[in-house]
């Protein structure tokens, strides 16, 4: 599935247990860094700090998201193609191989090769960016 926004991706991560929310105020000076470093070191989830405390002591109205792509699984989950959710390094490697091929494509040698490349071309055409008249944030 393709994600329409970061919120969609975060909701999927949270449903999968790959995102935790910290609703208590947490200082942006060293404390937040220590928490996310420990989580990352242990292969833990991404973390959304809902009330970051700024250096002046005020609570920021903007939450802070850390370790979003801190594990191979979350990186793989973030890469969507052909409406397939990926969760393993092997599945992520498939995407890397496709991108490497697209960087230096080999032209088809005949009609048979061209026919075999049709599914690949459909995938590539689905990857192009969409042009929209209005966006949620600009």
Segment 62-79 shows an average pLDDT of 88
Tokens of 121: 């071309």
C-beta contacts of 71-76 below 8 A and 24+ residues apart: 71/18, 71/43, 73/18, 74/13, 74/18, 74/46
> In the prediction, which pLDDT does 131 show?
81
pLDDT digits (tens, 9 = 90+) for 4-26: 888 988 998 999 999 999 999 99
More confident residue, 116 or 122: 116
For 11-32, letters b (16+ CB in 10 Å) and e give: ebbeeeebbeebeeebbeeeeb
**Mean pLDDT, all residues of the chain:** 85
């Amino acid at each position: 599935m393709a994600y329409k926004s970061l919120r969609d991706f975060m909701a999927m991560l949270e449903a999968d247990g790959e995102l935790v929310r910290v609703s208590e105020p947490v200082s942006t000076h060293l404390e937040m860094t220590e928490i996310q470093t420990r989580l990352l070191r242990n292969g833990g989830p991404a973390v959304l700090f809902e009330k970051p405390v700024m250096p002046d002591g005020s609570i920021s109205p903007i939450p802070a998201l850390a370790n979003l792509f801190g594990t191979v699984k979350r990186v793989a989950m973030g890469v969507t193609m052909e409406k397939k959710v990926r969760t393993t390094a092997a599945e992520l490697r498939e995407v890397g191989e496709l991108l490497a091929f697209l960087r230096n494509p080999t032209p088809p040698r005949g009609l048979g090769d061209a026919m075999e490349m049709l599914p690949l071309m459909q995938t590539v055409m689905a990857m192009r960016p969409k042009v929209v008249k209005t966006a949620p944030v600009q």
